[in-house]
Amino acid sequence: MAERGLNVDHSTVHRWVVHFSPQLLERFNGRKRAVTGKWHMDET
């Protein structure tokens, strides 16, 4: 943020992380593929 000329305290960043982490976790978990019991063997 300093590159963009913004002076933000570390406690502000921490509050943002605490506030937005649950929302990000929901989005990331929604994009995960389901795990199956199939295994694929490559020829070597």
Both tokens assigned to 25:
């976790």
Q: What is the pLDDT of residues 1-44, one digit of tens each?
A: 788 898 999 999 999 999 999 999 998 887 777 788 888 888 76
pTM for the full predicted model: 0.52
Answer yes or no: are the C-beta atoms of 1 and 8 closer than 8 Å: yes
Looking at residue 43, what is its pLDDT?
78
Query: Quick one: DSSP state of residue 35?
Result: P
- Render the burial of 11-39: b for 16+ CB within 10 Å, e for the rest: eeeeeeeeeeeeeeeeeeeeeeeeeeeee
Looking at residue 10, what is its pLDDT?
92
Both tokens assigned to 31:
């994009």
Looking at residue 36, what is its pLDDT?
81
